[in-house]
Chains A and B, each alone.
Chain A
Amino acid sequence: MARGDNLLKVEHLTMRFGGLVAVDNLSWQAREGDITALIGPNGAGKTTVFNCITGFYKPTEGRIALRHGDAAVWDELESLTERGKRHITTAGGSLFQLERMPDFLVTQQARVARTFQNIRLFAGMTLLENLLVAQHNSLMLASGYTLLGVLGFPSYRAAERAAVDVAREWLDRVGLLDRADDPAGDLPYGAQRRLEIARAMCTDPVLLCLDEPAAGLNPRESAELNELLLSIRDKYGLSILLIEHDMSVVMEISDHVIVLDYGVKISDGTPEEIRNDPKVIAAYLGVADEEVEKVEAEVGL
């Protein structure tokens, strides 16, 4: 898995809700091992793109493809599309057409995990239970689809112990190990955000999609989040997709930034390039193109 090859391709993505066009003919790519940030003003369609990738929405038009394994597998994309299947597997790797898959299979088979803008933890379950639910599919297999588990087979008990170890490791990494037996709803806001990331990681993803992970965090927590995300990228070689409003997070950790406005891509490049793109500044500050320089001068860019 060489870093730098395309992991995810979004092509001509369009999403309409009745008369409203939330995303319009959007195309972009995310590279493997990158932290790719999706930014834009409120209502730009970022979360809609996320929901299309993770299968919660079926896009009106367009193709979303994800690769596992060798980059050569991209050559199969056209034939996969033509054959109308969800995925294709070759000797070198697999290719998934995400818009054709129901949401749970996107996580289960294509191994895309996500978090939510308004945190969705299982508030009445403990931290440990939250992380075990995330390992549902592998544990389900180990419990013989419940049958062996009910009869008390030892294979399931071993699998459960292993799953608890994975959960313990992630709780430790996000600094919540000593609260493992507390209900998730009792955690302070920042810790809930970290737990949601840990829970997504427990599904063993290749692509982690984070919807505004820094929202509501104080500067210190925000810095800790940066560290966590960087370590996930570097240690596990994981690719991360990020929606974020906090520019300190975006600029500091992303390798690649895509800017949306009114459902259209207005810029695509490194953080440095984005910072200096007049169109981006105009979109954020809401001025006409010709006034951008004046505004820039005023705000001291």
Chain B
Amino acid sequence: MEVFIQQLINGITLGSIYGLIAIGYTMVFGIIGMVNFAHGDVFMVSAFVALIAFLFVTAWLGIASITVALLIVLIVAMLFTSLVNWVIERLAYRPLRGSFRLAPLISAIGMSIFLSNFVQVTQGPRNKAIPPIVRGEIILMDHNNYAVALSYKQLIIWGVTAVLLAAFWYLVAKTRLGRAQRACEQDQKMAALVGVNVDRTISMTFVIAAALAAVAGTMYLMYYGVVSFSDGFVPGVKAFTAAVLGGIGSLPGAVIGGLLIGLIETFWSAYFTIDYKDVAAFSVLAITLIFLPQGLFGRPDVEKV
């Protein structure tokens, strides 16, 4: 029981990170029907930006307050990652809009390879570790010498994720931009005809996706305290799995899918073997796509004859 609750806490934490990345996949797929293969690497880049910002803020500026430092790091990471993704969309995807279907996917794969190798070349191939930023935990229960702990960093992740998801939900559901996005999802040409700036809406989608990935990247760095250039691929695929599981195109689906993937992974590692935990995630992806391609919350795809 104690193990179960502890894994539940760990799973939700991991799942929040996956959920934040998954939203990026789902939004981009919803609006331009493309699997943004480079999104996992955008997440990795954001973790590096957060790392550099953290070192800059603590060592160079000498800010001692952890709260202020984290806040600055988060904002800096979101800003720079958004800019990076905006440029990526401009250079690598926009010229291919309306072209041959495979082209954006190949371009995204190329961008993914480019980003991870760019980070490897500029920052070196080794793992980058930082000392723990946030220490301390709350002991929830202590039974049979097994203490169920909720660490402060987990609490921070839950809190930040919840606040940002609320802000994001407001942005998509209540603002002009959100309306424009939904219009472009339905029919880009028609949206353009009624005065929606399609290019800008798509750009903004990439910007928002990157900002949420940057939140995930910052949280990832804070949680694990280590990041390397190759950390984009596997979390990226898992987040994509989350998006598919929730129903690609569905925003609440992405969050719930992320939580589920996080839980599946931690429980698998706890109760079965840790060796095959990635196999479990990939199997969930394959099984979902085969048996439930519309996911949990997606609209079924009716074949038009």
Mutual binders A and B: yes
Q: Does A56 contact B (CB under 8 A)?
A: yes
Separation in Å of the B187 CB from the closest CB of chain A? 17
CA distance A47 to B304 in the complex (A): 11
Separation in Å of the B305 CB from the closest CB of chain A? 5
Cβ proximity bits B283-305 to A, threshold 8 Å, 1 near / 0 not? 00000000000000000001101
CA distance A116 to B304 in the complex (A): 11
Q: Does A222 contact B (CB under 8 A)?
A: no
Cβ proximity bits A7-23 to B, threshold 8 Å, 1 near / 0 not? 00000000001000000
List chain B residues, Cβ under 8 A from A27.
none
CA distance A17 to B303 in the complex (A): 12
List chain A residues, Cβ under 8 A from B305.
47, 51, 56-57, 116
User: Number of contacting residues on A, CB 8 A?
Assistant: 6
User: Number of contacting residues on B, CB 8 A?
Assistant: 3
Cβ proximity bits B185-228 to A, threshold 8 Å, 1 near / 0 not? 00000000000000000000000000000000000000000000
Q: Which of A205-261 contact B (CB under 8 A)?
A: none
**Shortest Cβ distance from B302 into A: residue:** A17
Cβ proximity bits A46-86 to B, threshold 8 Å, 1 near / 0 not? 01000100001100000000000000000000000000000
Q: Which of B249-305 contact A (CB under 8 A)?
A: 302-303, 305
CA distance A56 to B302 in the complex (A): 12
**Shortest Cβ distance from A211 into B: residue:** B305
CA distance A57 to B303 in the complex (A): 10
Cβ proximity bits A35-47 to B, threshold 8 Å, 1 near / 0 not? 0000000000001
CA distance A47 to B302 in the complex (A): 15
Cβ proximity bits B78-104 to A, threshold 8 Å, 1 near / 0 not? 000000000000000000000000000
List chain B residues, Cβ under 8 A from A56.
303, 305
CA distance A51 to B305 in the complex (A): 8
CA distance A103 to B303 in the complex (A): 13
CA distance A56 to B303 in the complex (A): 9
List chain B residues, Cβ under 8 A from A51.
305
**Shortest Cβ distance from B303 into A: residue:** A56
Separation in Å of the A23 CB from the closest CB of chain B? 14
CA distance A47 to B305 in the complex (A): 9
**Shortest Cβ distance from B300 into A: residue:** A18
List chain A residues, Cβ under 8 A from B302.
17
CA distance A119 to B197 in the complex (A): 33
CA distance A51 to B302 in the complex (A): 13
Separation in Å of the B256 CB from the closest CB of chain A? 23
**Shortest Cβ distance from A50 into B: residue:** B305
**Shortest Cβ distance from B304 into A: residue:** A118
**Shortest Cβ distance from A54 into B: residue:** B305
CA distance A56 to B304 in the complex (A): 10
CA distance A47 to B303 in the complex (A): 14
Separation in Å of the B141 CB from the closest CB of chain A? 48
Cβ proximity bits A184-203 to B, threshold 8 Å, 1 near / 0 not? 00000000000000000000
CA distance A130 to B302 in the complex (A): 27
Separation in Å of the B283 CB from the closest CB of chain A? 29
CA distance A116 to B305 in the complex (A): 8
**Shortest Cβ distance from A51 into B: residue:** B305
Separation in Å of the A135 CB from the closest CB of chain B? 22
List chain B residues, Cβ under 8 A from A116.
305
Nearest first, the 5 A-B pairs at minimum CB distance are A56-B305, A51-B305, A116-B305, A17-B302, A57-B305
- A-B residue pairs in contact (CB < 8 Å), sample of 7: A17-B302, A47-B305, A51-B305, A56-B303, A56-B305, A57-B305, A116-B305
Q: Residues of A at under 8 Å CB distance from B? A: 17, 47, 51, 56-57, 116
